[in-house]
Amino acid sequence: MDLIEVTNLRKSYKDHVAVEDVSFSVEEGEIFGILGPNGAGKTTTVECVSGLRRRDGGQISVAGVDPGRDRDRLRRILGAQLQSSQLPDRIKVWEAMDLYASFYPDPADWPELLDLVGLTAKRNAMFAKLSGGQRQRLSVALALVGRPRVAVLDELTTGLDPQARRDVWELVERIRADGVTVLLVTHFMEEAERLCDRVALIDGGRVAAVDTPAGLVAAVDDEQEVSFRPSSPVDEAILLALPEVRAVERSGARLVVRGSGNLAPAVTLALAEHQIVPTDLRIEQANLDDAFLAITGKKLIP
Ligand SMILES: Nc1ncnc2c1ncn2[C@@H]1O[C@H](COP(=O)(O)OP(=O)(O)OP(=O)(O)O)[C@@H](O)[C@H]1O
């Protein structure tokens, strides 16, 4: 069932068109990503979905509610963690949770939420004293305090170090495991690949493509490259006989095999049949960055 439906969304700021024509739908239980470069219109789109901006045209439905018409009902369905959300420096973690909980008739048990985001030990800390990752995790907890069916998370991991980023990714997966549908804005292809069931690629205020991360990549280019150092000499003919293999080249002590489909398993299996071990095996295949470039002609991060 589609929980969110966006159809021909349009939004301008004075004479600047930020969102020209955006349509997508999100199924209940999905992590749906909106991926695109800076200025593509991602934030404007989710702010319209979250009822924080008035659209100029098109339709939006979140569980049957129009965010432009009925913000009170929307608040009970959708929780938003948005780029701009800032708290006063001196507010304590527990005070922020308690305050947000007071906005809802039937809030979540906020100490439990603090536990979920790993901030129980920081409950008495002031907002200003939290690290970037802790602030992000707090903002996610605040978005969940109203027990929403949909969580909107915008540029959640921008500015975080790799470990903090992975912690936040795990948190998003836990939220989904609890049954919350997640609409996630990002300009990191790695984040979209790791987390999202489906992704809308947005460029210049328009949707360039919607598919699973694997589907987007496969539609662009199935070319893969496997390279390794063989434990003993390889007769190239045994590799060239595989339907997955297109070419075999030597590069010093390494063999470079190009092809498509299940290339890596096919190559390693054929080598094993000849008692050859591929050491220092490297696999390169197209990713969402390549897909974005092929579809829009632009790089995701210039
Ligand atoms: N409040 C505003 N007033 C005027 N122009 C705006 C406003 N907010 C955004 N814009 C412009 O609208 C376009 C789309 O912005 P938006 O923030 O939606 O993009 P984005 O894809 O989320 O980018 P980013 O990742 O940089 O936030 C940009 O050109 C931006 O400069």
Q: Is the CB–ligand 1 distance for residue 84 below 6 Å?
A: no
Ligand 1 mean position to 52 CA, how many Å? 14
Q: Is the CB–ligand 1 distance for residue 18 below 6 Å?
A: yes
**From CA 221, how far away is CA 290, in angstroms rounded?**
9
Ligand 1 mean position to 78 CA, how many Å? 22
DSSP strand pairing (198-203 vs 206-211): antiparallel
Q: Which amino acid is at 47?
A: E
Domains 2-218 and 222-285 share a fold: no
Q: What is the pLDDT of residues 210-220, one digit of tens each?
A: 999 989 988 77
pTM (global) more than 0.80: yes
Q: What is the mean pLDDT of the chain?
A: 91
> Ligand 1 pocket check: which of 12, 19, 43 to mutate, most ligand atoms within 8 Å of Cβ?
43
| Domain 222-285 bears CATH identifier 3.90.1150.10 | no
**From CA 239, how far away is CA 139, in angstroms rounded?**
52
Evaluate if residue 271 carries a pLDDT over 90: yes
Please report, in angstroms and rounded to a whole number, the separation of the first and last CA atoms in the chain: 37
Q: Which two tokens stand for residue 190?
A: 């790695």
Q: What is the pLDDT of residues 187-231, one digit of tens each?
A: 888 899 999 999 999 999 999 999 999 899 887 767 789 999 999
Q: Is the CB–ligand 1 distance for residue 13 below 6 Å?
A: yes
CATH level 2 (architecture), domain 2-218 = 3-Layer(aba) Sandwich (3.40)
φ, ψ for residue 211 (rounded to 5)?
-170, 180
Sheet holding 254-259, edge to edge: 245-251, 254-259, 224-230, 278-285
Evaluate if residue 256 carries a pLDDT over 90: yes
User: Which has the minimum average pLDDT: 46-55, 164-173, 192-201?
Assistant: 164-173
Residue nearest to atom 4 of ligand 1 (CA): 13
Q: Which two tokens stand for residue 18?
A: 């930020």
What ipTM was reported for this prediction?
A: 0.95
Whether 87 and 127 have beta carbons less than 8 Å apart is answered as yes
pLDDT of res. 261: 83
Q: What is the pLDDT of residues 78-90, one digit of tens each?
A: 999 866 557 888 9
Atom of ligand 1 nearest to the CA of 45: 18
Q: Which two tokens stand for residue 219?
A: 């539609």
> Ligand 1 pocket check: which of 35, 44, 187 to mutate, most ligand atoms within 8 Å of Cβ?
44
Residue nearest to atom 3 of ligand 1 (CA): 13
pLDDT of res. 85: 58
Domain boundaries, the chain: 2-218, 222-285
HEC per residue, the chain: CEEEEEEEEEEEECCEEEEEEEEEEEECCCEEEEECCCCCCHHHHHHHHCCCCCCCEEEEEECCECCCCCHHHHHHHEEEECCCCCCCCCCEHHHHHHHHHCCCCCCCCHHHHHHHCCCHHHCCCEHHHCCHHHHHHHHHHHHHCCCCCEEEEECCCCCCCHHHHHHHHHHHHHHHHCCCEEEEEECCHHHHHHHCCEEEEEECCEEEEEECHHHHHHHHCCCEEEEEEECCCCCHHHHHCCCCEEEEEEECCEEEEEECCCHHHHHHHHHHHCCCCEEEEEEEECCHHHHHHHHHCCCCCC
Evaluate if residue 32 carries a pLDDT over 80: yes
Helix 132-144 to helix 93-101 angle (10° resolution) is: 20
Q: Which two tokens stand for residue 116?
A: 């979920």
Q: Is the CB–ligand 1 distance for residue 53 below 6 Å?
A: no
